[in-house]
């Protein structure tokens, strides 16, 4: 979504001939630059360029923009502007520039002035940045004052969003305000030639934050070097909760199978893959196959977790990512991480510092209280985290970065939105985020998690308050999910302003439209697990035609009655029995073959289906994936979201090109996918003992082909060639690639998520897009 900055140039006013300055070759301009321009060394950069081009005047932060009042010769000003706009500091991102000619004033020098607030201006907020090479060199230089100092930073790196309380981005508005700079750091801060000139979190061992190692009871471990002692404890197989940039990680030696298993048991996380932090890119290459795009992302200054294909070598315990073909790997991104790898280990499990389904811990006292039953030790520091931020997660699809979880380094995410109204979109209930709109820009929050968890809901409320405060937002319109029982929708009721209820799958479709700046009608294909439809049934296998403002449901997976309510989502065998019941399949051998499910339970589900007790009707493709995974005995009960479907994708044999029969019916002008024939194909293959890897591949190919068949019919009927793919099922790389390839062969314009997550994290963006289209004309 990168784009060139927009320019607004006001008309030149006539010169005042009474002005004592007679040299009309000189010019004066007021300039306002919007974007990620604070906390990136932009003002010092402008100062130094002003000296080079003989520019006089001043620069300051105003709100989240940079404000300049400059004077100079015409050619000098031209060269200066080209340099600061076309070649700004690496971390900056310029979105918009306002240029206003003024009467010449006659400044004598160039200065950096104190910052000032701007309540009404466009605001951009920078994310946290991984340690730069220069700071890293200092950390490992024994002669440097910052040798082994874990909080070393400069204008090119370090904390930003996680420590920010308010704008503009100045030290007094961050959690670093409690640390008074020593004379040496103050000198760096004031020196325009120093790379720490106006580095807001600047510090050193004499004046900055410090580390302490504690037991899980909170008592201090007496040691000369807390990092050295932490390394020792990790090598001994202990679990250490380590406070990082945006919160705590639970850490153990990835090469120690016993430690990994203990962490799984204590965290109550039996199967969900753990993220790894590895020492360097060479270690990552030994563990995984890495293409050029993946390596570039691993090494960038955001340092996300990247999902990478495992190599065959068994160098690490299988328990790190059981039943997975991929590993989630990130590289060190703070000096503390680099210092930890002075130990003999090359890989650390570094998973979010929380219990199962809980939010990441970020406050010292609460972390010890909540994580004391999991961690043996705590490596803490005394720099407060104001806004907790998880690690971002990305993957590469068709050589493009695709964001799964937008968090550290990638947030807040700013994007153009077609409204002048101030709005707030509250997102879904799971994988929650929220979005704000102000001055024709949208602001997407970090990933927050499942709002059904009490603590997560509290962080959600706080995060909304933080962003509202940073922006000075006064929303007049509140967008929320059509499902009024969602906690995010309940939260909407507590807020003043006009409410706009947005159907879940329409929000999915529009989130992709917002990302790709689409306004004209599209065919929207939305596959996910759950979302309340306008007929009060559960949708999730949807084909729409529509715009940001409205949609028509022109196709869907045929409804199936599923027994068990929310329990069915946690126990996919219930979904399998529900589908078998729907197609009147009678082979008792296959049904009895469901591992870990007794006949009594199966009989009870059948009876309640006959009586329609605790049942719901669903058109969800996600539930169909669960059904097939259960029939193949991959997973009868899940321990994390979408586990059954994820494991089904992971076993497929990509060399199998065959697919099952499928049928598309039409009822009252709406196309419906009849699942009976494809499901009978799956069951017949199970009877014949066809390998599960082949059955999975044939099922995936069938879903791909029937999707393409539906789109072809809709395209022909409605003459729409733009296709949008969205929803959590399209996290499935095989299915996404299959459908994208098929659509391109059919000369369709196909769009899928890259910067905005395709899962429910993207819902808030879609809600904002819908509300802006409906209500945002003013």
Q: What dihedral do alpha carbons 218, 222, 226, 228 form, nearest 10°?
A: -130
What is d(CA 449, CA 465) in angstroms, rounded to the nearest whole number?
Answer: 17
Q: Where are the alpha helices (DSSP H) in 561-675?
A: 566-570, 572-582, 588-592, 599-611, 621-631, 643-651
What is d(CA 69, CA 107) in angstroms, rounded to the nearest whole number?
Answer: 10
Which tokens in the block code for residue 165? 């309380």
ω before 776 within 30° of 0 (cis)?
Answer: no
Longest dimension (CA), the chain: 100
**Number of neighbours of residue 496 by Cβ within 10 angstroms:** 8
- Those residues whose C-beta lies under 8 Å from the C-beta of residue 32, and which sit 6 or more positions away, are 62, 65, 66, 67, 68, 97, 98, 121
Which tokens in the block code for residue 132? 């730069």
CB 437 within 8 A of CB 417: yes
**Number of neighbours of residue 278 by Cβ within 10 angstroms:** 26
Q: Which residues of 663-679 are buried (b: 16+ CB within 10 A; e: fewer)?
A: eeeeeeeebbbebbebb
Q: Tell me whether residue 311 is exposed, middle or buried, using C-beta atoms within 10 angstroms of its C-beta: 0 to 12, 13 to 18, 19 or more.
A: middle
Q: Tell me whether residue 124 is exposed, middle or buried, using C-beta atoms within 10 angstroms of its C-beta: 0 to 12, 13 to 18, 19 or more.
A: buried
Helix (H) or strand (E) holding 396: strand 393-397
Give residue for tokens 């059954």: 644
Q: What dihedral do alpha carbons 47, 51, 54, 57 form, nearest 10°?
A: 30
Q: SS3 letters for 635-657?
A: CCCCCCCCHHHHHHHHHCCCCCC
CB 467 within 8 A of CB 125: no
Q: Tell me phi and psi for residue 435, to 5 degrees.
A: -135, 145
Active site residue 382: no
What is d(CA 672, CA 337) in angstroms, rounded to the nearest whole number?
Answer: 53
Which tokens in the block code for residue 204? 């050193």
What is d(CA 70, CA 86) in angstroms, rounded to the nearest whole number?
Answer: 18
- Those residues whose C-beta lies under 8 Å from the C-beta of residue 685, and which sit 6 or more positions away, are 694, 695, 698
DSSP assignment of 157-206 equals BB-SGGGB-SSS--GGGBGGGGSPPPHHHHHHHH-TTSTTTT-TT---TT
Indicate which residue of 43, 269, 383, 405 is catalytic: 43
Indicate which residue of 27, 28, 56, 61 is catalytic: 61
Helix (H) or strand (E) holding 315: none
Helix (H/G/I), strand (E/B), else coil: 691: coil
Active site residue 11: no
- For β-strands 26-36 and 65-73, DSSP reports them as antiparallel
- For β-strands 93-102 and 110-112, DSSP reports them as unpaired
**Number of neighbours of residue 295 by Cβ within 10 angstroms:** 16
In the beta sheet, which residues pair with residue 761?
none
Query: Which residues are catalytic, by number?
Result: 43, 61
């Amino acid at each position: 979504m990168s784009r060139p900055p927009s320019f607004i140039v006001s008309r030149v006013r006539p010169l005042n001939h009474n002005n004592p300055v007679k040299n009309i070759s000189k010019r004066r301009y007021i300039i306002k630059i919007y974007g990620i321009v604070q906390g990136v060394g932009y003002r010092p950069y402008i100062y130094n360029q002003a000296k080079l081009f003989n520019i006089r005047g001043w620069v300051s932060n105003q709100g989240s923009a940079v404000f300049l009042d400059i004077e100079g010769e015409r050619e000098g000003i031209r060269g200066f502007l080209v340099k600061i706009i076309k070649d700004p500091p690496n971390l900056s991102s310029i979105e918009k520039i306002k240029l206003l000619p003024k009467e010449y004033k006659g400044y004598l020098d160039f200065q950096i002035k104190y910052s000032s607030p701007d309540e009404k201006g466009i605001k951009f907020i920078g994310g946290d940045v991984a340690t730069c090479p220069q700071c890293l060199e200092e950390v490992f230089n024994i002669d440097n004052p910052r040798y082994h100092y874990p909080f070393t930073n400069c204008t090119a790196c370090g904390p930003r969003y996680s420590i920010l309380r308010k704008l503009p981005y100045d030290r007094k508005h961050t959690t670093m305000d409690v640390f008074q700079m020593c004379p040496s750091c103050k000198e760096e801060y004031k020196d325009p030639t120093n790379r720490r000139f106006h580095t807001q979190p600047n510090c050193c061992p004499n004046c900055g934050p410090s580390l302490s190692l504690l037991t899980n009871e909170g008592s201090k471990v007496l040691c000369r070097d807390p990092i050295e002692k932490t390394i020792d404890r990790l090598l001994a197989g202990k679990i250490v909760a380590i406070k990082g940039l945006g919160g705590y990680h639970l850490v153990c030696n990835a090469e120690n199978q016993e430690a990994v298993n203990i962490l799984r048991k204590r965290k109550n996380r039996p199967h969900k893959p753990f993220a790894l932090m590895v020492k360097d890119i060479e270690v990552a290459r030994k563990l995984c196959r890495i293409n050029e795009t993946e390596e570039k992302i691993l090494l960038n200054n955001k340092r996300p977790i990247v999902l990478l294909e495992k190599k065959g070598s068994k160098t690490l315990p299988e328990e790190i990512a059981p039943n997975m073909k991929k590993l989630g790997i990130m590289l060190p991104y703070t000096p503390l991480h680099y210092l930890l790898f002075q130990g003999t280990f090359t890989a650390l499990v570094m998973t979010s510092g929380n219990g199962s389904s809980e939010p990441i811990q970020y406050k010292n006292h609460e972390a010890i209280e909540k994580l004391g039953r999991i961690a043996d030790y705590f490596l803490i520091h005394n720099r407060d985290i104001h806004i907790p931020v998880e690690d971002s997660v990305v993957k590469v699809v068709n050589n493009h970065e695709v964001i799964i979880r937008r968090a550290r380094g990638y947030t807040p995410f700013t994007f153009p939105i077609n409204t002048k109204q101030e709005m707030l979109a509250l997102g879904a209930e799971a994988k929650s985020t929220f979005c704000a709109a102000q001055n024709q820009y949208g602001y997407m929050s970090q990933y927050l998690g499942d709002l059904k968890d009490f603590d997560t809901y509290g962080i959600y409320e706080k995060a909304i308050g933080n962003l509202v405060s940073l922006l000075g937002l006064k929303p007049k319109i509140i967008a929320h999910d059509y499902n009024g029982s969602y906690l995010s929708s309940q939260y909407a009721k507590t807020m003043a302003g006009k409410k706009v209820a947005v159907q879940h799958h329409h929000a999915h479709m529009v989130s992709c439209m917002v990302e790709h700046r689409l306004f004209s009608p599209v065919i929207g294909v939305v596959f996910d697990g759950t979302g309340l439809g306008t007929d009060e049934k559960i949708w999730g296998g949807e084909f729409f035609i529509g715009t940001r403002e409205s949609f028509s449901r022109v196709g869907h997976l045929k409804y199936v009655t599923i027994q068990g309510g929310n329990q069915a989502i946690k126990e996919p065998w219930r979904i399998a029995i529900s589908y078998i019941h729907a197609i009147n399949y009678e082979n008792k051998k296959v049904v009895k073959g469901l591992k870990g499910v007794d006949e009594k339970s199966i009989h009870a589900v059948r009876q309640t289906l006959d009586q329609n007790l605790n049942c719901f009707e669903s058109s969800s493709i996600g539930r169909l994936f669960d059904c097939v995974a259960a029939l193949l005995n991959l997973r009868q009960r899940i321990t994390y979201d979408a586990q059954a479907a994820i494991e089904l994708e992971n076993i497929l044999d990509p060399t199998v090109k065959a697919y099952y029969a499928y049928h598309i019916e039409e009822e009252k002008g709406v196309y419906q996918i009849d699942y009976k024939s494809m499901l009978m194909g799956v069951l017949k293959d199970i009877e014949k003992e066809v390998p599960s890897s082949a059955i999975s591949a044939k099922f995936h190919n069938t879903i791909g082909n029937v999707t393409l068949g539906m789109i072809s019919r809709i395209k022909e009927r409605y003459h729409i060639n733009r296709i949008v793919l969205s929803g959590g099922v399209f996290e499935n790389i095989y299915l996404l690639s299959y459908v994208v390839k098929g659509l391109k062969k059919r000369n369709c314009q196909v769009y899928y998520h890259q910067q905005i997550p395709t899962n429910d994290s993207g819902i808030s963006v879609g809600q904002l897009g819908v509300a802006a289209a409906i209500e945002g004309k003013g």
